[in-house]
């Protein structure tokens, strides 16, 4: 095969197509079907849908089911937080980084397929598959993202990145709809219940991820080798992070903003990861199909998030980034307070739409605000964003651990949601300390 030149439309499309391949993990496994499956497996309910027991016995201990999955998620993100600097340190220095991308892709996809055998008798195996799938997904993104400057010129990169996001959204929704139809109309496909088609959804996710990524691998170059892999290069990512940490001491604006971001992002990311688990355990679905309702709510969040991101950017132009971030944090406080009292599907849909509106806004505006605060003479912006990403993941680790701990100690995930209000309040107070020097978006 003839090597495609940098900037080639076909090469950019092939790169962006990996988003189509891997985004099914974040929607099917992380957000929608797996949380519903895990809840059905670990929660005992009466005929009216009231929770009788949500305790899971694992490794000789009894855990609240939400606390257990929160701890596993936190541990996985902790591993990713330590892996990312190593991976970013070697991404541009090895001649076969495509093999690294393949390895983590296959690790994640095969682990998704392994979830087919998830049951309480082999709980350790199911949680291990969930753990490795999360690591495979996030670690593969390190190498995927590092390809962008290799396949597109600077003036093409924004458009290429947006193309990947769009393909990922479309692909993941298509597979989710297929899985939803298979689960809801299981009798038409010859299945006796929802159980088997739900498990098959995990297999389809893995096959989709591996299958469609082959188009990406076919056209992507192996990598631009700069030098051999040495100990010096292996720890280069950590040295870069240390350098950014030292630079922050001289940049009061960026330092204060990152402190605020770390605190409120901890709560935002936790809510995004546990929203479906909350809907499973805390709502009275009555005669409604909870699986259908929960997946519809996930789709609602994604659709509204696009509107939220657009609306937020326009408001930031008029009022400034920091003011809008403060306002969004206040809305998050209200959502958490409201979520503590919701019991019906309609209330949950309203909360989901509200979460979607501020979720898209706070994510996009947080990153763009950070970008504007970078020193104007900064030449290694990749290191700054690597620091930002690691900072965010460590926040997820702490947020998920505290969420699980509160659920475990109090026996209610409603208390965990209410507990997260503390972080949004702290985020507001810290944002008020950030000097208003950021230009509008």
Q: What is the pLDDT along the chain (441 residues), one digit of tens a residue?
A: 567 888 889 998 998 899 899 989 988 888 788 888 888 888 766 565 566 677 888 877 888 787 888 889 889 988 988 887 777 666 656 667 788 889 999 999 999 999 999 988 888 999 999 999 999 998 888 788 777 777 887 677 667 776 776 788 788 889 988 998 898 888 888 888 788 999 999 999 999 999 999 999 999 887 655 555 555 666 666 777 777 777 777 778 888 888 898 889 888 888 877 777 777 777 777 666 677 777 788 777 777 877 777 788 788 888 888 888 999 999 999 998 988 888 888 888 888 888 888 887 787 778 777 767 777 665 555 566 667 777 788 888 888 888 888 888 887 778 888 888 999 999 999 999 887 654 444
Residue 78: CB atoms within 10 Å:
17
Residues in the chain: 441
> What domains, with CATH codes, occur in the chain?
8-235 (1.20.1250.20), 243-441 (1.20.1250.20)
SS (H, E, C) 222-272: CCCCCCCCCHHHHCHHHHHHHHHHHHHCCCHHHHHHHHHHHHHHHHHHHHH
CA angle 414, 415, 417 (to 5 degrees): 65
Alpha helices, DSSP H, located in 147-251:
148-151, 154-184, 195-219, 231-234, 236-248
- The pTM score is 0.77
Whether the CA torsion 267, 270, 272, 274 is positive or negative: it is negative
Structure tokens at 353: 């739409």
What single string gives the DSSP state of each residue in 357-405?
HHHHHHHHHHHHHHHHHS-TT-S-HHHHHHHHHHHHHHHHHHHHHHHHH
């Amino acid at each position: 095969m003839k090597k495609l030149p940098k900037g080639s439309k076909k090469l950019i499309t092939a790169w962006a197509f990996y988003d189509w391949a891997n985004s099914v993990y974040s929607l099917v496994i992380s957000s929608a079907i797996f949380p519903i499956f895990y809840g059905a497996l670990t929660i005992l309910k009466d005929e009216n849908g009231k929770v009788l027991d949500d305790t899971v016995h694992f490794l000789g201990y009894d855990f609240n089911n939400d606390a257990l999955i929160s701890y596993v998620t936190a541990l996985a993100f902790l591993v990713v937080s330590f892996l990312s600097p190593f991976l970013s340190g070697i991404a541009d220095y090895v001649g076969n980084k495509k093999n690294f991308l393949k390895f983590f892709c296959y690790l994640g996809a095969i682990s998704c397929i392994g979830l087919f055998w998830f049951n309480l008798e082999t709980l350790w195996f199911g949680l291990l598959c969930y753990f490795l799938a999360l690591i495979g997904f996030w670690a593969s993104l390190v190498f995927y993202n590092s390809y962008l400057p290799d396949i597109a010129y600077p003036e093409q990169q924004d458009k290429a990145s947006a193309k990947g996001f769009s393909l990922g959204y479309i692909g993941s929704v298509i597979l989710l709809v297929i899985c939803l139809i298979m689960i809801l109309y299981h009798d038409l496909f010859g299945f006796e219940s929802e159980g088997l088609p739900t498990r098959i959804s995990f297999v389809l996710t893995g096959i989709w991820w591996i299958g469609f990524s082959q188009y990406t691998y076919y056209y992507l170059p192996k990598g631009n080798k700069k030098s051999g892999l040495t100990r010096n290069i292996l720890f280069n990512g950590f040295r870069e992070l240390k350098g950014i940490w030292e630079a922050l001491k001289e940049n009061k604006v960026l330092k204060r903003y990152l402190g605020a971001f770390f605190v409120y992002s901890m709560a935002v990311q936790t809510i995004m990861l546990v929203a479906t688990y909350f809907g499973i355990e805390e709502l009275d679905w009555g005669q409604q199909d909870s699986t259908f309702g929960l997946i519809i709510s996930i789709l609602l969040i994604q659709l509204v998030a696009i509107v939220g991101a657009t609306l937020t950017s326009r408001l930031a132009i008029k009022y400034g980034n920091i003011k809008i971030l403060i306002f969004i944090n206040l809305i998050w406080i209200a959502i958490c307070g409201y979520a503590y009292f919701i019991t019906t599907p309609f209330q949950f849909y309203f909360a989901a739409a509200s979460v979607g509106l501020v979720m898209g806004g706070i994510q996009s505006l947080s990153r763009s605000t950070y970008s504007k605060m970078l020193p104007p003479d900064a030449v290694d912006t990749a290191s700054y964003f690597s620091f930002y990403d690691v900072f965010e993941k460590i926040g997820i680790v702490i947020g998920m651990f505290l969420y699980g701990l509160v659920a475990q100690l109090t026996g209610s995930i409603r208390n965990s949601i209410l507990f997260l209000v503390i972080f949004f309040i702290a985020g507001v107070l810290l944002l008020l300390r950030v000097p208003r020097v950021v230009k509008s978006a």
